[in-house]
Each structure stands twice: as C-alpha cells, then as structure tokens.
Chains A and B, each alone.
Chain A
Amino acid sequence: MFDARPQHNEYLRHRAQQFRSQVERRLNGSLTEDEFRPLRLMNGVYLQLHAYMLRVAIPYGTISPDQMRTLALLAEKWDKGYGHWTTRQNIQFNWPKLIDIPDMLDALAEVGLHAIQTSGNTIRNVTTDAYAGAAADEVADPRPYGELIRQWSTDHAEYQFLPRKFKIAITGSEKDRAVIAAHDIGLRLRRDDQGAIGYQVWIGGGLGRTPMLGQVVREFLPEADLLPYLEAIIAVYNLSGRRDNKYKARLKITVAERGLEVMRQEIEAEFLNRRAAFTGVDQDYLAALKGLFAAPAFREADEGDYSARRADHPAFRSWTDTNLAAHKAPGYVSVKVTFKAPGQTPGDASAEQMRLLADLAERYGHSDLRISHDQNVVLPHVHKSDLFALYQELRGAGLATANAGLISDIVACPGMDYCALATARSIPIAQEIADHFRARDLEEDIGRIDIRISGCINACGHHHLGHIGILGLDRAGVENYQITLGGDGYDIPAIGQRPGAGFPAEEVVGAIDRIIDTYLELRESPEERFIDAYRRVGVAPFKAALYAADA
C-alpha cells in the first residue's frame, strides 16, 4: 500500500514544531487571539462549543493499519476515547486541549498524517471514491492523481490565501461515488476512443448557504495536463473570486455570476500559459505514484464456505446483502463497516473499534482501510472465503450492522452538540429516525435511501444531497427542522427541494414517517428506490402527506 512517510515525515515534524512555538507564544501573550486564529486554522484547530477541535486529513480517504492505530492513540490519550468521521474523509477530535495539540501533531507526523490545510482558505483534503483501486467498474484508480494533487497543493504559496476554501474530488468510475458535482473542482477519470486516460472536469459545485451543482468545463482533459489545468482554474478564481463578501467568495458564485463560458475562455487561455512551464517532471512523478498504488497481490482461491455460511446464517446473509460492493478481482469484495449501529452517534469511532479495524485489515484486508464520505469505513479488499470470520469479529465489536445504504445509515454533522456554528442539533434527530424505523422493522423493506442532516446552513452533513435532507435551524430560540426532498449526490446529481415549512424537533420523526409511508404506498415495486419513485411522481404526494393537517 502507498506510504507517504519517507518524503513527508521531516516536513510534518517541522510543521508540528512550528505550531508548538505558535502555541507557546499565544499562551505567553506575544500573539493575540486574532493573530493566532489563522495560524491554528492552518493546522486544523478550531475552537468549538465545549473544547478545541482537531481535524486530521485522511488523504483521499486511504489509511494504513498503523495510521489507524495512531488515530486510536489520539482518541484515547488526548480526547475522550473516540473520533468522528466526516463527509470529507477526515476525522475530527472533539475534546483536545490546546496545550496538547502539538503533541498530537507530533504523533501524527510519526505515521505521515497531519492536519495541514484541513481548514482555512486553501485547497482542502482531496477526496475520492472509498472503493478506489478495488471497484469492479473502475476506469483507473483515482488515488495516484489524488496524491499528485495533494503534493502539488500542500503548502503551495499561491494557494494559502485563496478567496475561500477550495475542495477537489476525483472519481475513478463512470458511476460517481465521490460527489464530484458538489465540489469546487470535480474530476472523473475517463478513457478516450484510443483508450488513453483523461478527465472530465467539473467546476463550481458546492453546498452551504447557496447550494449549486458543478458544470462540465472540459469534457476530456488529457492525463498529462492535469496540474496545469487545475492551476489555470485556480489562478482564474484567485483573480476573479469575490473577496468583498465571504458568502460570495466560493468558486460556485464566481461561475454563477460570470457564466461558465467566460470562465472557460479564461481558464483555457491561462492553461496555455501554464502548460508551457510544465516540463514533464510531474508526469514522471505520477508514473512513480501509480507504482506505489499498485494493487496488492490478490489471492487465487475458491470461496470456501462462504455460500454455506450465507445459507445457514440469516444475519450474515443480510449483512452480505447490504454491506458488500463488487470487486475487480475474482473472489474478492469490498466491505463497508458502518458506524451507524443503534444508538450510535453517526460516524463516531471508539479507540477500540479503530484498533480492531486495523487488526482486521491486516488479517483479512491486505492492510488497506478507507474512510468513506458517508462516515463509514471500507475494507476494500476482502476475499470471500474470509468474510464469515471477518463478520464474526466485527459483530463482537458492534460493527456488523447490516445497514449500509439503508435508512439508519444516516449522515449527520456534529450540530449543536459540539459545533460553535450550529443552529440546532443533528445527532439526536439522526438517532431518533434510525430507532424509529428499526422499531417499525421496516428498514429492509424501505431499501436504499439516503438521509442526511446538517445542524446549520453550512451543510457539513450534505443535507442538500440527501434523498431526504434535514437542516436544523433556530426559530425564535427553538430547534426547528427544514426538510428537503429529491437530493442526490451519486447517480443524477440533484439539490433537494423544500416542500414547505419546517418542523419542531419532536415532529421530525413523524414527518419522515409520513414521507416513507407515502413512498411505500406509491412505489411500483420494492425495487423502485425512494429517489426513483420521487422522480417519477414529483413532490405533490409527499407534500400532501407532510402538510395534510394544514390543507
């Protein structure tokens, strides 16, 4: 598996040391909070409701067992025993003390991890498909490109003071599992008629206060032109992005205000200039990275007792029905381990769970682990003959919930329970909805559905992309929840629409229940997913069910 350590450790140690000295100067008063805040944000340190928060990047979601054990160590030694997976393939620690964070950064540096550029107006963690390098339908592994982008953009002087944060996602398959349409730049790997690799390039997507889907600015960009083209996009944005108003400073607003055509012309012109400066070193480097991301030595073996076990164990069978994804190598699957067990805070992982996953990845998963942007963990390469043993070990740790993609696999941001920007809670709403549908024993019958919750308009929980989205608001000092319907981050990108007024906290579950009952009644078959039924019939029946009493 790819290991960035040899190149990076020295630099990461240096950065941690630099931050240690900044903390010292803050504590002795030689830096004011106003001077210190941008410095701590450059190192992923926020101040939240109850404590500091440290956001650690997991580059393109890929993490090794020993890195996972370091996250467990951080959780145990400097936090309250757990961390929170985020929708951008990061992990957040909710309880560190400022005085401990330099030690945490040192520990991360030892295994090549860091919190650099996990905040601030710069290029954030490059995200990708959690099944990268494994998916059966993959054109090419997106991670070498992600690593190239990471190394090019990290500490790149031109990108330390962009108008606003900047997010890049890359998917290696025609089927988008990286929500490229909701990023400042989205890249989809493709092959041309001759079979050469290139990228479909999207720009101007983003959620938050003004959600927008990206648009295709280039249908096919040849492989070698990636960095000059990205540089061109960001150079144009750096010049024309609004700096007068932080809410209008994202690339999506620049694209919307100036128009895709104007942007395209400027980008193409800038691209011609920039490309001349690229000597090909980046391509040599990319070739080397591809070698480092080479697939593990897959085993050639039969399935063992896999089918027999499935026949004997209904619980194992339903877990394999929901939590597995097709793999490119014969006999293999990718396994999604959901962190959405009953009563669990969506995306929270305890130190013990992290350690167990590290062990299991070594034993059954070619030492590879991924953080998915639905706040779960993927073991990308598991041979079918090992599945039952893996399942039993996961079950022992409460990690074998058979709910990947089902109604209790809810994405939720920290909301008002932790976040200083929140206007309402998200976690308890997610828990109540999951509990409710488990109690009704409807989860399997409802099938694939995506519920996403954010505690404020910043949309960290990606609520706009939920088939059912929930946005927590403050209405005159009371938590109120706005529902959106029809969002989709994967198949046909769509921003959910509001059917009407929001609901007080105690009415949210009832509202979701009415939406689900309406769906169960009007679907043409159990195979017709909620989102497909919604697209077929439109909002009207759901609106009627939601607001029946008002009619």
Chain B
Amino acid sequence: MSKGFTPSPATPAVITANDLRQGHCVWMRDGGWTDDPREAQLFEDEAIAELALLEAMAQGTLVVGPYLAEARRGPDGRPEPAHFREAFRRRGPSNYFHGKQADLGSSEFEANNV
C-alpha cells in the first residue's frame, strides 16, 4: 500500500486526498489543491513532505484524508503513480469512461496513464 510512505529522491511522492464537497480525488500543488494529477507537486525530501502533509491535514474543510502516495517522475517530469491503486484514483474505474479520465479527457492522458 502507498499510505504512510516516506519520500526520497529515489522514491518521490505526491500528497493526495478527496475533495470534501465533491468526493473526487485531488492532489496538492503549492499548498493548494488541483483536480489534475499531472499538476501535482512531487516531493523528494522527507522533511518538506511531512510539513506539507501537516498543512494538508489542517485544511479539513476542503479535503478528507490526505496522505503521501508513492509516485514516479514520468518522461515529461510530471508525476506518475507507482501503485495500481493510485493509477485508478488518478484515472477512474476501468469499466466505464468515468471520473478523471472523462473529466480531464485527453487521449494523451489516457495513453500516458493506463
């Protein structure tokens, strides 16, 4: 499981949570939240990540259950999920074209992230 993960330069992480009002997956970027997993901030330093996580946890009227999830730096430098659970959270279910894959919708997103 990706929860409780310790980031390092070799194994970077993103901070992710669910949006309180809508329930959908969100990722931390510059202390705020983005719906687009490609825009997430990558953490490679444990201390910085821990601080950011504390900041995320203080935003309890915006998000639910923030945690550090292992990620990889993709070919374009953007984060990619390291575990299939995070791949589903990032994309949406595999039985319908629903969720992030439909919301963000580009074929590029599909091709890069399955």
Binding site for B on A (CB under 8 A): 26-29, 32-33, 47-52, 80, 95-99, 345, 416-418, 422, 425, 427-428, 431, 474, 477-479
Contact = CB atoms under 8 A, between A and B. Distances in A.
A97 B93 contact: no
Contact of B24 (A28, A51, A431): A51
Interface string B74-114: 00000000111100110011111011100000000000000
B105 to A, nearest CB: 15
Interface string B6-26: 000000000000101111110
Contacts of A28: 61
A418 B23 contact: no
A95 B98 contact: yes
B64 interface: yes
Contact of B22 (A29, A51, A80, A479): A51
A422 B94 CA distance: 14
Nearest to A425: B94
Contacts, number: 75
A416 B60 contact: no
B71 to A, nearest CB: 13
7 contacts: A33-B60, A47-B18, A49-B89, A50-B98, A80-B96, A99-B21, A477-B83
B32 interface: no
A95 B93 CA distance: 11
Given A50-B92, A416-B84, A425-B94, A98 B1 contact: no
Residue with the highest number of chain B CB atoms closer than 10 Å, among A32, A422, A477:
A477
Q: Closest 4 CB pairs between A and B?
A: A417-B93, A51-B23, A52-B23, A29-B61
Given A50-B25, A97-B22, A80 B88 contact: no
Given A33-B64, A50-B99, A416 B22 contact: no
Interface in B45-74: 60-61, 64-65
B88 A417 contact: yes
B21 A27 contact: yes
Contacts of B85: 49, 416, 422, 474
A416 B99 CA distance: 14
B95 A49 contact: no
A427 B65 contact: no
How many B residues touch the partner, as a band?
20 to 34
Nearest to B2: A477
A417 B21 contact: no
Given A29-B60, A33-B65, A49-B88, A418 B21 contact: no
Contacts of B93: 50, 417-418, 427
A33 to B, nearest CB: 5
Interface of B: 1, 18, 20-25, 60-61, 64-65, 82-85, 88-89, 92-96, 98-100
A386 to B, nearest CB: 34
A29 B65 CA distance: 15
Nearest to A431: B95
Given A49-B88, A50-B99, A98-B21, 14 more contacts: A32-B60, A33-B60, A49-B85, A50-B23, A50-B25, A50-B88, A50-B100, A51-B22, A80-B98, A97-B21, A98-B22, A345-B96, A477-B84, A478-B84
Contact of A417 (B24, B83, B94): B94
A345 B95 contact: yes
A416 B88 contact: yes
A418 B94 CA distance: 9
A474 B22 contact: no
A477 to B, nearest CB: 5
Nearest to B21: A99
A27 B20 CA distance: 8
A50 B26 CA distance: 10
B14 to A, nearest CB: 16
A97 B23 contact: yes
A29 B60 CA distance: 8
A477 B99 CA distance: 23
Contact of A427 (B20, B23, B84, B94): B94
A427 B23 CA distance: 22
Contacts of B64: 33, 47
B25 A417 contact: no
B99 A427 contact: no
Contact of A98 (B20, B82, B99): B20
B85 to A, nearest CB: 6
A34 to B, nearest CB: 9
A49 B98 contact: no
B30 to A, nearest CB: 22
A437 B28 CA distance: 45
A50 B20 contact: no
Nearest to A51: B23
A478 B85 CA distance: 10
B56 to A, nearest CB: 13
Contacts of B20: 26-27, 33, 98
Contacts of B83: 477
B95 A427 contact: yes
Contact of B89 (A27, A50, A98): A50
A345 B65 CA distance: 29
Contacts of B88: 49-50, 416-417
A350 to B, nearest CB: 11
Nearest to B64: A33
B65 to A, nearest CB: 7
A479 B60 contact: no
A47 B21 contact: no
Contacts of A33: 20, 60, 64-65
A444 B92 CA distance: 35
A477 B21 CA distance: 30
